[in-house]
Structures are given as structure tokens and as C-alpha cells.
Amino acid sequence: MHSLKPPLAMKRPRPPSPPPLSPASTKHTTPPPPPVKSLHPNTPPISSKKPKSHPKWVPLNLSQTELSLPLTFPTGQTFRWKQTGPLQYTGTIGPHLLSLKHLQNGDVSYFIHFAPSESAAKLALLDFLNVGISLAKLWEVFSENDSRFAELAKCLKGARVLRQDPVECLVQFLCSSNNNIGRITKMVDFISSLGTHLGSVGGFDFHEFPSLERLSAVSEEELRQAGFGYRAKYITGTVDVLQSKPDGGAQWLLSLRKLDLQEAIDALCTLPGVGPKVAACIALFSLDQHHAIPVDTHVWQIATKYLLPELAGARLTPKLCSRVAEAFVSKYGEYAGWAQTLLFIADLPSQKALLPSHFWDIKEKKSAKIEDSNSCNIDGNYS
């Protein structure tokens, strides 16, 4: 076992502008101040509240090797970030509304649309992006032990695992059960709309994720009418259980970050609608359980093709799910969940179609160090 400890909306129409005041209505009154002209005409306007203005894109000091936005946000980790421009994604982290985009050289910059505190927004963003973990160092270790991963890493740089708020992550993956991305997104947008409106960017409304207290006021019937189906009872049931925790549900979920993986999985599985796969997703994407392996039929196919070929053709059972997870951890170590995430992304039709045709004939070798190569250009050229 090889281990590594790196250093550490539904679209809604934009509300119309209010009509200008007539001369009669302003007579004998102090004239209103002239409207502030945006210094960035290409940045979509925001609505609601009157946030502090932070009119600039700021370098995040993350290269494409450390973060690829197209390989991180639209690949099933979160359903709350929207593409609001070419290589630009917008979302909320707590009470902060931010956009991220790639510059022409591939580096990432960020723009604060609304934040109670600019410094707090940046800290929240860095935490959300898990920047304390060096993706390049992880990829190097994985590639030394897996020639196929080494080839993938050249083409799919920057597929990073996020560190989401556990409540937000939990509710999203309750929506994901036996569902497709379009429908999951609509459900998550509905839940999100119950929170405080922070602004609109690129035709999308963005909200702070609602608190458990706010969610507890939503009935199962309301969710069913909104199209949640049987998942409605799981969401309301889970909220009720979390609300009954002595120190509060949000704090209880955060405490799972300190447990061993299996303890965290077992605790999550006590919640209505949470099974081992959903629990593993929550553990990996929000609870610092970096070797959690969410096993579904897709991951099972990857495992039987490249890790456990002797099980090809077998029927996936809970016992075999555990065996698959063990195989990933045995090969990739304590950050196996990060390796599995890249392998999962590589097998998505949208990415698979772009990989070099010879790639799928690569045979496993004992060792292959990653090379600085630009032999393929998938999401690699941001110009």
C-alpha cells in the first residue's frame, strides 16, 4: 500500500430594471447619485442585496495542473456550480458568491460578486478547493504505480476533489439516488432556492444553501409536488434526525471528519435514504475521508477491467463492493478516492470520446513515471 501525505438554478429571467424617476417625482428632493458604471462590462450583473463591490479578477495561484474547472465542477461532485462563461463557473460557498475562470495560460482566477468579507471569502474558497493537497504530487505517486493512470494524468490534469459543506453535500447526494444529472440539478436548485438570495450571474440565480432549520420547515408533500418523488421522505426524514442531534446536525456531520472511514460510513448510514454508496460520496467530497470509494455499476466496470479482472461477469454485491474499495486502496493508498475520481471522469462518455484512440489498448505495467508531456490536448489549451 502506497501512501502520501502532501503538504499541507434553475435559470430564471433577470428582473427588469425599475423605470427612471420622472422630473416631477424628483422636484424639491435631493437628486439620486448617478449609477456606478461597471469596470468590467463582461462580468454579468448581480441582483438582490447591495454587496460590497470587488470589481476585479484575482489570481488564485493555482495552475491547470492543480485545478481544471471543467474536470472538477461538472463531473458529479457538486450540482450547485453553474457554467456562466467560457471556462468560467459560478457558485456559492456559505454566504459568498464567487466565479472562477481559467486564464489563457490555464491558471485560475476568481471574482467575488458578493461577500460579507473579502478575506473570509478567499479563505472559504481555498478550503472548498482543498488547496492544502498537492494534486501534482498525488498524481506523481499514483503514476509510479499505475502506467494507465500515468497516461491519463497527461490528458486529464487538474481533476480535483472538493471539500464541500457536509450538510450541502448530504442533501445533494440524497437527490442523486437513481437519478440523472438534469433532474438532480433541478432538485438541488429547488432546495437551494429556499436559502438567502445572493445574486444573479449569467442568467442564474444563486442562493446561500438553506440551514437545517429552514429545511425543517419544508414538508414532504411540498418536495413531492416539486418532483422529488420518494426522495422527499428521505430528505425530510434526514433533516428531522439531524435536528434532533444534541449539538445540532451540522456539528454532528462535521465531527465525522475526525472518525475512521468505516465509522463515518456507519454513522451516515443511520440517516434515512443513505446507503453505502451515497455515504462514501459524502465522506469523500465533504468529510476528509480521502480513501473513500463510492462503488456503483460504473466504478464496478472500471474495477473489473483494470483492477480485478478475475471478477468480470460477476454480479455486484455488498461484499464485492467492499472488495472493490479495498483494491483501490491497496493500489493507490490513503488518497485512493482521488485516484478513483480521475478514473471515473476518464470513463465518462464526454471525456472518453476525446482521449487518444490508442489509449484504451494500454496494457498495465509495473511502473511508469509521469512525464511532462503534452501528447494530448484535452482541456489543456485554454486559449
Beta-bridge mates of residue 85:
88
From the candidates 277, 319, 331, 365, give the one annotated as an active-site residue. 277
Cell representation of residue 124: 472559504
Q: Which of 164, 165, 174 is nearest to 237 (CA)?
A: 174
DSSP 14-75: PPPPPPPPPHHHHTTSPPPPPPPPPS-TTSPP--SS-PPP--SEEEEEE-TTT--HHHHSTT
C-alpha to C-alpha distance for 321 and 327, rounded to whole angstroms? 10
CB environment 60-75: b (16+ within 10 A), e (fewer): bebbbbbbbbbbbbbb
CA distances from 34 to 20, 30, 199 (A): 12, 12, 22
User: Is 277 among the catalytic positions?
Assistant: yes
Residue with cell 466496470: 301
C-alpha to C-alpha distance for 94 and 59, rounded to whole angstroms? 21
Cell representation of residue 264: 463515518
Please list the alpha-helical segments (H only) found in 92-146. 118-128, 135-145
Longest dimension (CA), the chain: 86
Cβ proximity of 326 and 355 under 8 Å: no
Q: Please list the active-site residues.
A: 277
